[in-house]
Structure 1
Amino acid sequence: MPSPTLGGMELRQLEYFVAVADEASFTKAAAKLFVAQPGVSAQVRRLERELGQPLFDRSGPTVRLTDVGEAVLGYARAVLDGAAMVRLAVDEFAGLVRGRVAVGMVRACSSVELPPVLADFHQDYPGVEITLSEDDSDRLLGAVISGRLDVAVVALTEEEPDGVALDVIVDEELVIAVSSGDRLAGAGAVGIEALRGRGLVSLPKGTGMRACLERACAAAGFEPRVALEVSNPAMLADLAARGLGPAILPASLAAERAENLTAVRVSGPGLRGRMALAWRAGGPSSPAARRFLDYARAAFAAVEQRV
């Protein structure tokens, strides 16, 4: 079946052109598109003949866009995006859902069960391609605002970001978790000042619990001294239980390990760990992403929040 055309150009030719531009290689573009390399070269040559100008400089070790190619690339992307949106709109009208959903997840997150939501959505909508990436909350929120991500699970600080809409999924007390032999183990509650000068175990910068720790310590007039940094909350709990230093943990995780960990509450304002589902304030652009957002919001709403 021939590819749809625009003037004398085929959408397939534009697709191949964009792939070669992205990969800077005909061979890599062919592998990305799952087609033979000669076919990619032939389609791009036909597009160049149609336009009457070379789009690539093939004289060097890598393929480079010509000035004309640079000028054409943005328009080619727009045409392909428009064609995809036309198909998605037709599918949505027909009751079908296809397309792609880009989802983000904050690193070292143990309190939100995102994988079951993704699996259930995939089972109900197998025509939707789902991508999942992990990063810190600031980068995830930036990707949501720019449109690189449709939806993300992020950790919240006191200041809620502009340009995004939020559903809080988890709002949980954070505690100081220590081993039974730690000098804080006998205290029911202490001020955050009790951590001044202590060697702490902590999640990396960019995670919600690390941000809560740093913010509370800054309010008390000191910087936390992080001696060990790990990316897994379960490992963080194990290190604290073995006496390698106090750790800030969700109260629920500390309670699960009560035989090895002692949870000490933080007096005063206390610490809260909040996780939220975030999406662009205007809503996701594609039908598939809008369907996933509705699906995820309903799924998380059905789970009782830990308070």
Structure 2
Amino acid sequence: MDIRDAEYLVAVADHGSITEAARALFIAQPSLSQAIRTLERDLGVELFDRGGRKLRITPAGTSFADAARQVLADVERARAAVQDVADVQSGTLTMAVLNSLAADPLPRLVGRFHRLFPRVLLSTVSADVPDGVGRAVRSGECDLGLTELLVGDQGLGFRVVGEQEIVLALHADLAIELPDPVPVDLLADIPMIVEIGSRPRLPVHNVAVECAHRQSMWELVVQGAGATLLPRRVAEHELPGVVVRSLAPREVRTIGLVHRPDPLPPAAAAFIAALDEVQGASVSRNARPAGDSRASS
């Protein structure tokens, strides 16, 4: 049964007459009658009793009519959702962003979104830790959250954006005697630069500098004041001339957008839809509860 069959079946059931249903559907009566006959033949049951003066729906017809109404309702909801996204011309999208993701991938994602929806204002709220992103989304303060996906049950849905390799960025002078990749245990012997308020992914025991500003922290690394842990893309593009070393074991984090399980506001739905063109095949198309063993916030 396709959408057209569903529309025909429901119309005839509601009007109790092929003639009246055909008039309501703006089609010829013989065409509608033939369509119903074909549907009955395909299903192998009679949907209407034609023995009396008035067309009566059979129990099988009632069952199929109920299913047809559900199909039409689902189609209408899908059309409305698509139209909501297509109609995003203004408004505000609020997003909680993990601080360490502000340099990447936030600019790439926002750039694509604003090329598609230039009149939507994006308002971001920063968070030092993933839990802060989750709280902002669950409370309704933000529509979406860009964060590292962690294991745990927080009652949020998510959409995977991609993965980031965490690397060690440091001046060449500090890297002379270090192996490549650098064993995590050796981090205890390396002077480190950390951002105030952040929670390092790996234990950092030898803190040389605490810095409140990310750009200043990166410049300190360039000047040889210490090393820091960064996503590879950020280290290679934002810190010119530094040495970038992988870690052993390799350190990778999964990045995603989290949202409440309620229907998304149009701007939030449009932002997630825009991910397809930013990430291509690497974007996960399956939304799961945040309690899934692979992700949560």
Superposed pair shares fold, TM > 0.5: yes
Cα 1:132–1:187 shift into 2, 3 Å: same
Give SS of 2:163's match: strand
Does the alignment pair 1:281 with 2:261?
yes
Does the alignment pair 1:255 with 2:229?
no
- Deviation of 1:141 (Å): 1.1
Aligned to 2:272: 293
Aligned to 2:289: none
Alpha-carbon distance in 2 for matches of 1:103, 1:258: 27
Aligned to 1:227: 208
Cα 1:192–1:118 shift into 2, 3 Å: same
- Deviation of 1:259 (Å): 6.1
Question: Alignment identity in percent?
Answer: 19
Instruction: Tell me which amino acid in the other structure corresponds to 1:212.
Output: R
Instruction: Find the partner of 2:201 among 198, 206, 212.
Output: 212
Does the alignment pair 1:134 with 2:113?
no
Alpha-carbon distance in 2 for matches of 1:301, 1:94: 19
- Over the aligned positions, Cα root-mean-square deviation in angstroms equals 3.4
Cα 1:189–1:93 shift into 2, 3 Å: closer
Give SS of 2:141's match: coil
Cα 1:107–1:303 shift into 2, 3 Å: farther
Instruction: Tell me which amino acid in the other structure corresponds to 1:151.
Output: L
Asked if 2 retains the 8 angstrom alpha-carbon contact of 1:179 and 1:262, the reply is yes
Instruction: Find the partner of 1:155 among 148, 157, 160.
Output: 148
Give SS of 1:166's match: strand
TM-score (norm 1): 0.54
Aligned to 1:194: 186
Does the alignment pair 1:182 with 2:174?
yes
> Per-residue CA shift, 1:45-102, capped at 9, x if unaligned?
xxxxxxxxxxxxxxxxxxxxxxxxxxxxxxxxxxxxxxxxxxxx9xx67974465432
Cα 1:258–1:233 shift into 2, 3 Å: closer
Asked which structure has the greater CA Rg, the reply is 2
Instruction: Tell me which amino acid in the other structure corresponds to 1:240.
Output: V
> Per-residue CA shift, 1:211-268, capped at 9, x if unaligned?
422xxx2xxxxx5333323355554333223221121122233334786212222113
Asked if 2 retains the 8 angstrom alpha-carbon contact of 1:175 and 1:265, the reply is yes
Q: How many residues align?
A: 199
- Deviation of 1:145 (Å): 1.5
TM-score (norm 2): 0.55
Alpha-carbon distance in 1 for matches of 2:121, 2:173: 50
Pick 1 or 2: higher relative contact order, CA cutoff 8 A, min separation 6: 2
Instruction: Find the partner of 1:105 among 84, 91, 97.
Output: 97
Aligned to 2:251: 271
